[in-house]
Structure 1
């Protein structure tokens, strides 16, 4: 114990770790502090005395026995404490890529629908690369819905659930025309922004209409290295985004590159069609337009762009927080281009992946993890 008992120092092979007495107390894993069924806290952490101290700390193997100045005593697993305190790996489980991706992440629809291991593999590829191409999707308008139901609820929007993406007269959105689409993320004017895009190809016989994909995290980190001033600007300035039609008014804002608390890229935005930059001071606007141009040249350039054309019965699942997607223009004289699109949120997708990983790991091994030696 150090600082008159307000801190506990643990020594372990990875280095010393200093823990606050208050932090240890509010995490006490006993029935008086945490509900045994839900794991949720029963005490109000704000009611703990700010001068709380440890009066005793004893280590026996992996068991750390603690007594506090408020009279509370508890035994905890030292290895569990260490695991909780380890800093997460940067971009854990992700592989950044450019346009020359040697092999596309692939999944089979029927296998993912029927087999948990195949579904987990599909979700882990989605986490790793930000997208996965799925083959064997049933050839009807709601063909992808059964697999969506294996993961989480379909996110409904003002366009309904699963909606058509095809050229129509009097289009209410540029996606419903034959023009090419610049690299973009979907719906930055919503709050929350949809997490994953599911794009199912029913017909793609038109001339053109190839899909483009860009790893936005890879491009953003490249910009950070090569032009840190532009990167900083795009994390600081928050343009607005707007979608208006006869029945809907949607507006939101956010930076083109959004960082998490550790300074890692957590989300990218780009939507030339819907962006509305406010009338900021001239110096800020000039700085922003230059930074935005530098970023656009990256995400629209050949080095970062992957080109592919979906065939009927294939679909893409894309991370809308990480990937930019677009398409080339197409001509209907050569045939029909008909896609169906839906959204699934990030929380249900991540939950399904993590639970499947735990369940399959438990099936493969009932052995507990190796515990680390810790000295107090």
Structure 2
């Protein structure tokens, strides 16, 4: 999306509320992504963010994420995206053992802290495999985030090496040239992505002393249920 309102917070809210209700999370209904001297999340630093999906510690992750660029960085912060379904399909064909591990072994994902608005404590946790299949054995969702992956796994010690090997293979496949898309979001542009399929990340960036225009994104989540509901409503009106 291009040429979106620049006022902080208004762009995502305007875009999402025009379509449907947003997904509330521990980051509030909309959130700011920029370097913070006292960060509560790796995203709020200038460090590299490796490819991941968001809110893996929720039982039902949001389906859509909107990232609106308020201010781009001149010192890094290149956005990166990869299609997790494509990587999973490749593994299913070329390395079925790894695919089986990633689609059957449940991993823990954990996050804790203070809610932005209420300041109440939260401890969020869920268990799920990286590749989730539906009842027909088809790839349905991807959940992958090494920064929120917990230490607990649903297997015995003898399987730990197998799991870590599978995670490493999946992570390496994401960054292959044929799977990775990277570009700099420009001011006024927004990336809209399927959070349970497309993994996103960014290169590291710096905020030089005295810099008045640090990298600044505004984010928001939307649930697929809301999208499908609106689609059905529009279809019914058009009949």
Tell me the TM-score normalized by structure 2: 0.90
Measured on the aligned residues, the alpha-carbon RMSD in Å equals 1.6
SS in 1 for 2:86: helix
Paired residue for 2:172?
Answer: 297
Cα distance in 2 between the residues matched to 1:271 and 1:229: 21
Give the superposition deviation at 1:262: 1.2
Distance 1:175 1:356, change over 3 A: same
> What's the CA shift string for 1:247-270, capped at 9, x where partnerless?
221111100000011111110011
Would the aligned equivalents of 1:238 and 1:253 in 2 still touch at CA under 8 Å? yes
Q: Residue 251 in 1 paired to residue 125 in 2? A: yes
> What's the CA shift string for 1:315-353, capped at 9, x where partnerless?
011111111000000111274101101111111112223
Cα distance in 2 between the residues matched to 1:277 and 1:266: 25
Give the superposition deviation at 1:359: 4.6
Tell me the TM-score normalized by structure 1: 0.58
Larger RCO (alpha carbons 8 Å, 6+ apart): 2
Cα distance in 1 between the residues matched to 2:175 and 2:233: 37
Cα distance in 2 between the residues matched to 1:256 and 1:237: 8
Paired residue for 1:202?
Answer: 70
- Match among 230, 235, 238 for residue 352 of structure 1: 230
Would the aligned equivalents of 1:206 and 1:332 in 2 still touch at CA under 8 Å? no
Give the superposition deviation at 1:282: 2.7
Cα distance in 2 between the residues matched to 1:217 and 1:157: 25
Moved more, 311-320 or 240-249: 240-249
Would the aligned equivalents of 1:243 and 1:249 in 2 still touch at CA under 8 Å? yes
> What's the CA shift string for 1:224-248, capped at 9, x where partnerless?
0010010011111000001012422
Paired residue for 2:4?
Answer: 137
SS in 2 for 1:266: strand
What is the 5 A alignment of 1:75-154? 134-141=1-8, 142-154=10-22
Paired residue for 1:310?
Answer: 185
Paired residue for 2:138?
Answer: 264
Moved more, 191-200 or 177-186: 191-200
What is the 5 A alignment of 1:1-376? 134-141=1-8, 142-246=10-114, 247-278=121-152, 280-333=155-208, 335-357=213-235, 359-360=237-238, 362=239
Cα distance in 1 between the residues matched to 2:19 and 2:35: 30
Q: What runs of 5+ residues in structure 2 fail to find an aligned partner?
A: 115-120
Cα distance in 2 between the residues matched to 1:222 and 1:196: 24
Moved more, 169-178 or 243-252: 243-252
Moved over 4 A (4+): 357-360
Cα distance in 1 between the residues matched to 2:92 and 2:232: 30
Cα distance in 1 between the residues matched to 2:74 and 2:231: 36
Cα distance in 2 between the residues matched to 1:293 and 1:248: 30
Cα distance in 2 between the residues matched to 1:229 and 1:212: 28
SS in 2 for 1:190: coil
Larger Rg: 1
